[in-house]
Amino acid sequence: MTHEFDFDAVLASFDRLLQGALLTVELSAAAIVLGLAVGVLGAFAKTSGGVTVRALVSAYVEIIRNTPFLVQLYLIFFGLPALGVKLGANEAALLAMTVNLGAYATEILRAGVEAIPKTQIEAGTALGLSPLQIFRYVILVPALETVYPALTSQFTLIMLASSVVGTISANELSSMASLIDSETFRSFETYLVVTPIYIALAFMFRGVFLLVSRAIFRRRRRLQGVFGFGGAR
């Protein structure tokens, strides 16, 4: 028995796939920004905080890293209303993605922070840099540069993980594909069309990450020439 391909019904709903892809991009971009913020705070809490703070952050990281994203999503979407916190599907999806990415970003950034030699911090102080300048240029930016490839890989993974948020009725790309599949009964054709869209989104995100790295780290190298200290080795 051979399968007869018919993409007409799927392509007739291509605009819905594009709408789903747009929501995927919006959720992923917001989760990346918020998750990175959580990661920065978590990394510095683990490296500079007190015993209690480090223990709380470590517990958060271990719980998230050792449970499926789908379980985390369900706990937020179905569990929070029991506590009186009601979120829409998109808001719950964004919160779940942020919480998940934040835990992984915390560990990745922690490794980058711990790779910064103490002598660099001392050199920044000797050069008369303010605490804010030391934080921004001597610790945070070099740490980001050290772990940037691992961090951006995690960013791409959270974008791909957004494919499961359709289970709580967030109309992202996979959810739209599932609706089209149920209407057309053309599963193979539907997901053949969706696959290159996800690949294109992944390459688009990587291109953005590359541009961001060039803008941030090229500026940092110019600052190295001014202040006279190097990055982590």
The closest of 196, 201, 127, 208 to 157, measured between CA atoms, is: 201
Q: Is residue 2 a part of any domain in this protein?
A: no
Residue 38 within any structural domain of the chain:
yes
Handedness of CA 183, 186, 189, 194 (dihedral sign): positive
- Is 25 a domain residue? yes
Domain count, the chain: 1
Residue 204 lies in a domain: yes
Is 233 inside any structural domain?
no
Has residue 124 been placed in a domain? yes
Is the predicted pLDDT of residue 8 greater than 60, yes or no?
A: yes
* 1 located within any domain: no
Q: What is the mean pLDDT of the chain?
A: 90
Expressed as residue numbers, the domain containing 77 is: 8-227
pLDDT at 194: 97
Does the reported pTM lie above 0.75?
Answer: yes
Each residue's pLDDT tens digit, 67-119: 999 999 999 999 999 999 999 999 999 999 999 999 999 999 999 988 888 88
- Residue 67 sits in a domain of what CATH number? 1.10.3720.10
Domain-embedded: residue 51: yes
* pLDDT greater than 60 at residue 233: no
Share of the chain above pLDDT 70, in %: 91
Residue 175 predicted with pLDDT over 80: yes
